[in-house]
A and B are shown apart, each in its own frame.
Chain A
Amino acid sequence: MQIRERRIGQSVILDLMGELTYANRTIFKAAVERSKQGGCRHLILNMRGVRFLDSSALGTLALLTQSLSVTQGMVSLLNPQSYVQEIVTLANLHTLLPVYTSEQDALAGSRLPAAG
């Protein structure tokens, strides 16, 4: 998995490319930790380049949501591919973290339109 970080104000957009799975979670967690250390309040995960999401990744995303909420931060998903969006919807994850189809909406913190 490849991850590119873009900082915009207090938000960080992580452009993810590849598969978000158990095998890649160390890389993903390290990137998230760097963002948090840098004072990120709103972590936006750009999922356009993510082909697959396994059950382990769902747990990682839920854990991330919980840990950021402790510090008044938040996590959002941006532009998930259809398969990933289906998994997110089946696991009801969109009730925990907003899903956006536009980077501007994500940066504005809008909660619409959500997946599902």
Chain B
Amino acid sequence: MAESARIIDPSPAAKASKPMPVILLVDDDEITRISMAGRLKRLGYRVIEASDGVAGLAAIRAHRPDLVILDWMMPGLDGPSVCEALRADQELRSSQVVLMTAHDQPEQIAEGLSRGADDFLSKAASKQEVLARVQASLRSSALVREIERTRDDLDRSHRLLSAKQTELESELQSAADFVRAQLPLPGMPAPGVSMQWAYQPSLALGGDLFQVSAWGTDTLGLYILDASGHGVSAALRAVALMSFLREDNLAKAVGSFDPGAIITEANRRFPLTQDGEYFTLWVGRLHLPSRTLSYAAAGHCGAFLHSLEGTSQWLSSASLPLGFDPTIPFHSATAQLQPRDRLYLLSDGIYEAPSPTGELWGRDRLQATLETHRTHTLAHSIGEAMTTARLWLGGDIFPDDVALLGVEVLDGSASAKDKP
């Protein structure tokens, strides 16, 4: 097949600086083909010839000409059949095709167009008409090629972006897994104390973190922190503060487990960033034998003591977030827990969940929900609070990180006569 296609050298006058359009001429009638090829060559085009439909298809595939001029009547595969074959081929379907015929009846033109031709050219056409139709078809061809190049560029860019996005999402997921691994395991962080939590960052990575862990033999350390902002930056800063709050680091850096002293030192070490980002922090220290809780807060309002028999209260007061004034001291306050009391640490993202009309859920509604489910298990109460917050929100995606941690002092976990 390839042997039946040959390339005619262009005329010297047509050797311009810009690429010369390539036209494939497919006609089984050698005299007509040579004549038309000569006319096209004299018009300045590079011409490839093929002597039948099958050879023409092979030449299109091999040379990807800018324009194909097809004779209608050919043995074997005729012009319209070549058109159909082109339109059915994913790679060749955008080829620009002019059907050449000795007849130009309207019915024939309609059939040719319906079977895939772009235009018609009479074999008896004048030189001017041939030139006009060829030029018009080449303009269309150039536009189609340009669109294809743009599409290919877009496809390549899209594939590149998709690959980058996948890579980035994978890295974010790894970071999110790492951050989540820093959170405590639900269960019993110390004898006589149970703990459960729910955590839902607004993005893959959250800036709200919390921890419950033993600080010495008789003491439980608890904290919840909120890094302003969202995403990677907030999560990284949150993990940095979490490292500071590790028991072994506190012993070295603060020399005390007093919450006020811890926050005072953190306030000194974690100034506002250049972008004005900062932390709020609540730290508690529960002496297990006496169930005495000492606590301090830096701008964090999220600690609620739910007492079974005594008075429930929010364990926070107005205080500056970390870094707002690095010179000020923070002081501890105390609260006495009774058996089966529950201490909740929570991020503002849960009680600031907005309804569809913009009304915030609020701390009162959160407190009421927790109290309603007081007789159930801690896990159930936390689950119900999250469910009710989502109902209020009217969806599952909170606009801010949501953390709700509960600690319950069990019956007989300590002797009231022990004091810290």
In contact, B272 and A56 (Cβ under 8 angstroms): no
B320 in complex: contacting residue of A56, A63, A93, CB < 8 Å: A93
Q: Which of A6-14, A42-50, A73-81, A84-92 forms part of the interface with chain B? A: A84-92
Q: How big is the B interface, by class? A: 10 to 19
Q: Which of B321-329, B366-374, B384-392 forms part of the interface with chain A? A: B321-329
Q: CB of A39 within 8 A of chain B?
A: no
Contact with A along B44-82 (1 / 0, CB 8 A): 000000000000000000000000000000000000000
In contact, A92 and B319 (Cβ under 8 angstroms): yes
Q: Which residues of A contact B299 (CB under 8 A)?
A: 91-92
Q: Which residues of B contact A101 (CB under 8 A)?
A: none
In contact, B325 and A96 (Cβ under 8 angstroms): yes
In contact, B318 and A62 (Cβ under 8 angstroms): no
Q: CB of B122 within 8 A of chain A?
A: no
Q: CB of B218 within 8 A of chain A?
A: no
Question: Chain A binding site: helix, strand, loop or mixed by DSSP?
Answer: helix
In contact, A62 and B278 (Cβ under 8 angstroms): yes
Nearest chain B CB to A94 CB, angstrom units: 9
Q: CB of B229 within 8 A of chain A?
A: yes
Contact with A along B162-192 (1 / 0, CB 8 A): 0000000000000000000000000000000
Q: Which residues of A contact B325 (CB under 8 A)?
A: 95-96
In contact, B324 and A93 (Cβ under 8 angstroms): yes
In contact, B301 and A59 (Cβ under 8 angstroms): no
15 A–B pairs (Cβ distance < 8 Å), ordered by A: A22-B229, A56-B228, A59-B272, A59-B277, A60-B276, A62-B278, A62-B320, A62-B323, A63-B276, A90-B301, A91-B320, A92-B318, A92-B319, A95-B320, A116-B318
Interface residues of A (CB under 8 A from B): 22, 25, 55-56, 58-60, 62-63, 66, 89-93, 95-96, 116
Interface residues of B (CB under 8 A from A): 228-229, 272, 274-278, 299, 301, 318-321, 323-325
